Amino acid sequence: MSDYVNLVPLWICALVVFAVILVQSAIYMRAASQAGPELGFTRRDLRRSFVSGGVAAIGPSLAVVIVAVALLALFGTPAVLLRIGLVGSAATETSSAELAATTVGGGLGGEGWTPEVFAVAFFAMAMSGGMWMVGTLLLTPALKRGDTRLRQVNPALMAIVPSAALVGAFASLGVAELPKSGVHVLTVAVSAVTMTGCLLLARALHAAWLREWGLGISIIVGLVVAYVAHQAA
């Protein structure tokens, strides 16, 4: 498995994507520094915006790091960097991988997690993440022209249907874990309870950072309990 997930071209793809993101930032900064003076946006404003935006992103970035490290054992470093570095989140990417693995009769981890299943799952993750970018590339110019048709959807529909789809998707994937084994049931429950605790504490202590770190903390607590239960089972 390690030979496949660590294939050199995958590392190169990950590094190229990171380079592209940095190049985009550089082009945007140059454009802003050229247009800025005419728009009341000084070089000092530019520097302060860049630095304060970067500093504000440190906490959330480290929270994402914890989650990404937890995914390394499953997907290998290049795939994690590609998927988490780009638009994907841990929840969507692992869900896409699980959905894809199920269609070929496999699953994440264990006997059913073969290099073939990984290839199919990695393809599905890349395509799914890619479609968010396709959506952006196609829709942004239309929205910019002020194409209002896209926004003339019934607001009640928009308040209910997307959240229903999202909750339905993750509820389904969560319930699907339960018949797999007692340790799976325990892990889902511990993860859910830990997140509940984090959210309640975040509210009680007005600690917004706990909301960001909740997923990382829940994953680690869930995996520790799973480890103990798995050894005992």
* Footprint on residues 31-90 left by another protein (CB under 8 A): 31-32, 34-41, 45-46, 48-58, 60-65, 67-74, 77-82, 84-90
- Is position 226 an interface residue for another protein (rule: CB under 8 A)? yes
- Is position 232 an interface residue for another protein (rule: CB under 8 A)? no
Size of the site for another protein (CB under 8 A): 165
- Is position 210 an interface residue for another protein (rule: CB under 8 A)? no
150, amino acid identity: L
- Is position 233 an interface residue for another protein (rule: CB under 8 A)? no
Chain position carrying tokens 């789809």: 165
What value, to the nearest 5°, has the Cα angle with vertex 221 and ends 219 and 222? 60
Q: Which is nearer to another protein, 137 or 204 (CB)?
A: 137
* Nearest distance from C-beta of residue 209 to another protein, angstroms: 11
Tell me which residues in 176-205 interact with another protein (CB under 8 A).
Answer: 176-180, 183-184, 187-196, 199
Helix 90-103 / helix 77-85 crossing angle, nearest 10 deg = 120
* Nearest distance from C-beta of residue 204 to another protein, angstroms: 14
Q: From CA 52, how far away is CA 50, in angstroms rounded?
A: 6
- Is position 148 an interface residue for another protein (rule: CB under 8 A)? no
Is 54 within 8 Å of 75 (Cβ atoms)?
no
In this chain, which of 182, 201, 204, 218 binds another protein, going by CB under 8 A?
218
Tell me which residues in 10-29 interact with another protein (CB under 8 A).
Answer: 10, 13-14, 16-18, 20-25, 27-29
Q: From CA 190, how far away is CA 185, in angstroms rounded?
A: 9
Using only C-alpha atoms, the chain has a radius of gyration, in whole angstroms, of: 21
Distances (CA, A) of 47 to 8, 26, 41, 227: 37, 13, 10, 47
Q: From CA 77, how far away is CA 14, in angstroms rounded?
A: 9
Cα four-point dihedral sign 21, 23, 28, 33: positive
* Nearest distance from C-beta of residue 194 to another protein, angstroms: 7
* Nearest distance from C-beta of residue 207 to another protein, angstroms: 15
Tell me which residues in 154-173 interact with another protein (CB under 8 A).
Answer: 154-157, 159-173
- Is position 213 an interface residue for another protein (rule: CB under 8 A)? no
* Nearest distance from C-beta of residue 111 to another protein, angstroms: 10
For residue 91, give the 3-state DSSP assignment. helix
